[in-house]
Structure formats: C-alpha cells, structure tokens
Amino acid sequence: MAQEADAIVVGGGVIGLTTAVTLAERGLRVRVWSRDPAGATTSAVAGALWWPYRIEPAERVGAWSLETLAVYEELAAAGPGETGVRLVAGVHSGERFAALGPWAAELKGAVEVAEGLRVVLPLLDMPVHLAWLERRLVAAGGAVERRAAAGFGEAAERSPVVVNCTGLGARELVPDAGVRAVRGQLVVVENPGVEEWFTEADSASAATTYFFPQPGGLVLGGTAEADDERREPDPVTAREIVARCARVRPEIAGARVLGHRVGLRPVREGGVRIGAEALPGGGLLVHNYGHGGAGVTVAWGCARAAAALVG
C-alpha cells in the first residue's frame, strides 16, 4: 500500500494535535487520525488551567510544564480570541513553594499569601484552542481525518512512523493495563462577576474545589473519581460542586446553570509514557500518552520529546 504520510498521529485531543503541529512544522507530512471531532474529545471538557496536577514522573514533569508555559505565554500575547490562551490571576489555596518541585521557582510573580499561592497562569478556552491547533496543523501542511484506528498496524501500512496519542484508548490499543480513567465532573454557570480563578485540591479526596472564568461562563469543579467511567453528569455531584464553590464566592450559589460536563482523565501507573518501539512491519511506533489531568500543562514539552524520537 502506498504511504500517505511521513507520520500518522493517532488521537486528536490536545496531546495529539500539539504533537502533530510540532512534527508538521519540522517538515514532515502529518495526518491525524481522530475517532472524534476535537470538540468531542476529553481535552475539550478540561477546565484547562496550566498547573502540573496529578501527573508523573515528577523528575520530568517540571521541564515539560515550563516548556509548555513559555509557549502559552507567547500565545496569550498573540491574542486569546485567536489562540484561546489568556493569562489570568488566581490563588491555589493552601499551596506553598516548599511543597512544590524546583519548577515552581520559575513562576514569574508568584507570591505566597495567607490563603495560598497567588500567581498569574495560562487559562485556556479549550474549544477555541483545539480549533486553533487544527488550523495551525493545516497551515503547516497537515490534515485531520475522522477515523478510528483498530490498531497501530493499520496506520503503519500508510506511514513509516505512527505516534500514539490515544489517551485512555491506549489501554486497549497498546494494550496497557496501567491506564485507568479518573472521572472529572464540571458545572458551567453564568458568571456573576468572578474575574480570577481559584483552586483547592485535597489529594486524599475525590472532591476538589475550583472555578475558572471562561468566555462561555464560569466553570466550576470538580471531581477526581478513580476507575469511574460514568459519562453522564450526576445531579447530586453537580449540586455539591456548586455548594463547595459558593463557600468561597457566595455569589456563585445563585448563578444560573448553563451546562454540565464530564471527562475521563487518562491516568497511567508510572506516569506519562514517551518512548519508541519497532512495529512488526518495520515501522516506528512512538508513544505519548498517560498525561492524567495535566495534558494541557505538558502538551508542548511532551510533543517535543516525542518528536525527538521520530528524528
């Protein structure tokens, strides 16, 4: 069969699209195979504040995160209406520099305040950002196909390089039994005037508290429910999310609900997998999956690490 591309990226979420853009802008003919439109991927549901949250391995995450932060700062300067990236101030409640990795020392203007760590960070409007990534890919000569891959061999027949950015799908496709779903539920309400984000996470609890002011409304969260694959919003959980956020900002209690979202974070035992292996037919399979709840945070750093394996 004639080869259609220099690289086929399987998976069209933020990791797949960012990796595809990185490869295409290095001169490769790239095609993305995505079962779902970008707006229907887990990435589109993300609250999407840059922060290394629930992601391993710790010794690599800091560098990937800072590399990605630098890109987002450039994209925010280019205009959020175009790229979906804004720089927004907020507070990580209860957070202290001493409890974070060396990467935290690189955060410009971050200060410890009574309630936690106050800092200006990238906040992404994911539907806008994903659409921008697709346009950037096409501008670099790439293309996105709506196509579900039954296996990597199918892609290898059409390209010498296959890049696995399938997230939760890697559980079956690799297969990798270490990949598991961590359910996240959000509520979107009419913004009652909240201009800053807020987070309060307890790693020992499945319940978290955060709100992010997005152009389409105030996004309230959230949950981190391991091995729970329900994709429908739970009404009781939704009420609890609103109540937790309203304890921080009381005006949220009366805000009109605009919608509900559920996403399954692709967490992997051992953390992110970036590596390469030979395919039976002689092709190269590059892995870039297992980003948990921080795919947005490490997208560019991981894309460049995966691209380096392509050569």
Say if 1 falls within a structural domain.
no
In the structure, what pLDDT confidence band is assigned to residue 204 with cuts at 50, 70 and 90?
confident
Residue 60 pLDDT > 70, yes or no? yes
Q: Per the annotation, does 294 bind a ligand?
A: yes
Say if 2 falls within a structural domain.
no
Average confidence (pLDDT) over 173-201: 97
CATH number, domain containing residue 13: 3.40.50.720
Enter the DSSP assignment of 168.
G
Q: Per the annotation, does 295 bind a ligand?
A: yes
Helix (H, G, I), strand (E, B) or coil at 129: helix
Say if 51 falls within a structural domain.
yes
Cα 268 to chain centroid distance, Å, stands at 14
Say if 286 falls within a structural domain.
yes
Tens digits of residue pLDDT in 93-126 = 999 999 999 999 999 999 999 999 999 999 999 9
Say if 178 falls within a structural domain.
yes
Cis previous bond, 175, omega within 30 = yes
| Host domain of residue 113 | 7-310
What amino acid occupies position 294?
A: A
Give bridge partners of residue 289 from the DSSP assignment: 273
Task: Please give the tally of structural domains in the chain.
Answer: 1
Q: Per the annotation, does 296 bind a ligand?
A: yes
Q: Per the annotation, does 53 bind a ligand?
A: no
Q: Per the annotation, does 292 bind a ligand?
A: yes
Q: Per the annotation, does 26 bind a ligand?
A: no
Q: What percent of the chain has pLDDT over 90?
A: 93
CB 290 within 8 A of CB 255: no
Average confidence (pLDDT) over 202-217: 92
Q: Per the annotation, does 223 bind a ligand?
A: no
Say if 266 falls within a structural domain.
yes
Dist CA 148 CA 115 (whole Å): 46
In the structure, what pLDDT confidence band is assigned to residue 2 with cuts at 50, 70 and 90?
low
The crossing angle, in degrees rounded to 10, of helices 14-24 and 126-139 is: 20
Tens digits of residue pLDDT in 10-58 = 999 999 999 999 999 999 999 999 999 988 899 999 999 999 987 999 9
Average confidence (pLDDT) over 231-243: 98
Structure tokens belonging to residue 167: 């997230």
Residue 1 pLDDT > 70, yes or no? no
Structure-model confidence comparison of residues 310 and 39, the more confident one:
310
Say if 263 falls within a structural domain.
yes
User: What pTM was estimated for this model as a whole?
Assistant: 0.97
In the structure, what pLDDT confidence band is assigned to residue 254 with cuts at 50, 70 and 90?
very high
The crossing angle, in degrees rounded to 10, of helices 295-310 and 58-78 is: 100
Q: Per the annotation, does 41 bind a ligand?
A: no
